[in-house]
Amino acid sequence: MSFTTLSGMRLDLEPPIAVICHDAGATNHILSWLKVDGRLGAVRAVMRGPAECLWQHAFPEVPLCYSIEMALEGARSVISGTGWASNIEHDARRMAKERGIPSVAILDHWVNYAERFIREGKLVWPDEFWVVDDHAMAIAEKTFPGTRIRLVPNLYLASQVQSVKPAPIFKPELLYLLEPMRSDWGRGEDGEFQALDYFVTKLPLLNLPLGIAIRLRSHPSEPSGKYDAWIAMNPALHILTDESTQMSDALSRARWVAGCESFALVIALAAGRQVFCTLPPWAPACRLPHDGLIHLNKLAVDELL
């Protein structure tokens, strides 16, 4: 696989290429690059969890390998995601290192870089880290000193923003992007539900249309029906659920977007939406480094009125 970065430098992975993914973030980047590269015949992919659905939607005609061993057989390079929800990407990097196959790992967000490469106390770094913006580059350089780190094009962000339609004038919605926080912040309740409740308390300050529809979009890693009970406990709100396959379709219906730290908040900002971070004051600070994000926990009463 090869493509041109924004600076014109060529990046190459020697085929056959093993592609190993689980979480959606890195998968979306890799799929965007593969669509441009066009050499799917040189790819041997293993997809699990959300990545499998994304692959089947993007390349339904391309069969997947059923195991890491099958993908690595004869491979000359490996590219993998760095998600937290499984060990498959970590195992692929470990097995590639044991076989002497060069590997690349995609850092798709701006958080927990060091922890992504540790499982059961064992640290495995790839031969090269790829990042997609200057913010991530700065974090990676501090986290992985002395390693090879490349800045590569964020084709996924560019394609998503291009696909988002102008914000609707009539019947605009607020899209709430859900994601598991993996912490209760010492309060005995999952952080994502605390953030939702905090968002509801701040709604009167946001100067939104009366009775606005709030559409909840679950994270790909979350089980179906996870938020049903919360919705039932808030009958005064006009709450809908989002079933869009593409993030761009969900954003196209919304003039306002809210959430905690999802990458999709960055897409919303780039698409010109007003974006709210709903992390409450007792949660860790938001780690998205982007300008334009409105933090509800810092919002003055009259700031948006």
Whether residue 147 is contained in a domain is answered as yes
Whether residue 303 is contained in a domain is answered as no
Pairwise CA distance, residues 274 & 212, whole Å? 15
Q: 213 forms bridges with which residues in the sheet?
A: 238
Same domain, 148 and 13: yes
pLDDT score recorded for residue 221: 83
Beta-carbon contacts of 105 under 8 Å, excluding residues fewer than 6 positions away, are: 79, 80, 81, 82, 89, 93, 116, 117, 125, 126, 128, 129, 130
Whether residue 237 is contained in a domain is answered as yes
pLDDT score recorded for residue 300: 60
Pairwise CA distance, residues 19 & 2, whole Å? 14
Domain-ending residue, one of 156, 190, 216: 156
Q: Are strands 2-4 and 10-12 parallel, antiparallel or unpaired?
A: antiparallel
Q: Are strands 149-151 and 2-4 parallel, antiparallel or unpaired?
A: unpaired
Same domain, 97 and 60: yes
Same domain, 150 and 199: no
Pairwise CA distance, residues 4 & 223, whole Å? 38
Pairwise CA distance, residues 123 & 15, whole Å? 26
Whether residue 193 is contained in a domain is answered as yes
Domain-ending residue, one of 133, 156, 179: 156
Distance between the two ends of the chain, CA-based, in angstroms?
A: 50
Whether residue 209 is contained in a domain is answered as yes
Length of the chain, in residues:
305
Domain count, the chain: 2
Pairwise CA distance, residues 180 & 83, whole Å? 13
Provide, for the chain, the percentages of residues in helix, strand and coil under a 3-state DSSP scheme, each rounded to the nearest 5. Answer: 35, 20, 45
Same domain, 263 and 142: no
The two tokens of residue 71 are 């993908």
Whether residue 134 is contained in a domain is answered as yes
Same domain, 204 and 280: yes
> Coil, strand, or helix at residue 68?
helix
Same domain, 131 and 176: no
Same domain, 140 and 9: yes
- 58 φ/ψ angles, rounded to the nearest 5 degrees: -80, -40
Residue showing tokens 């290429």:
17
- 148 φ/ψ angles, rounded to the nearest 5 degrees: -85, 120
Same domain, 150 and 170: no
Inter-residue contact 276 to 206 (CB < 8 Å) = yes
Whether residue 305 is contained in a domain is answered as no
Q: 177 forms bridges with which residues in the sheet?
A: 217, 259
Question: From the first residue on, what is the mean pLDDT of each consecutive set of 10 residues in the chain (305 residues)?
Answer: 43 87 93 85 93 94 96 96 93 97 94 94 96 94 96 91 90 94 95 97 93 94 94 95 91 96 92 96 92 88 43
Pairwise CA distance, residues 204 & 187, whole Å? 25
Whether residue 137 is contained in a domain is answered as yes
Domain-ending residue, one of 156, 180, 214: 156
What is the number of other CB atoms lying within 10 angstroms of the CB of residue 235?
8
Cβ burial of 298 (10 Å; 0-12, 13-18, 19+) is: exposed
pLDDT score recorded for residue 6: 37
Cα 291 to chain centroid, rounded? 18
Same domain, 220 and 139: no
Same domain, 99 and 230: no
Same domain, 16 and 148: yes
The two tokens of residue 11 are 């990046």
Pairwise CA distance, residues 215 & 67, whole Å? 37
Domain that holds residue 267: 164-298
Same domain, 144 and 183: no
Any idea what the CATH number is for the domain that residue 31 is in? Answer: 3.40.50.2000
- Cα-based distances in Å from 160 to 89, 157, 296: 25, 5, 26
pLDDT score recorded for residue 280: 97
Dihedral sign of CA atoms 33, 34, 37, 43 in order: positive
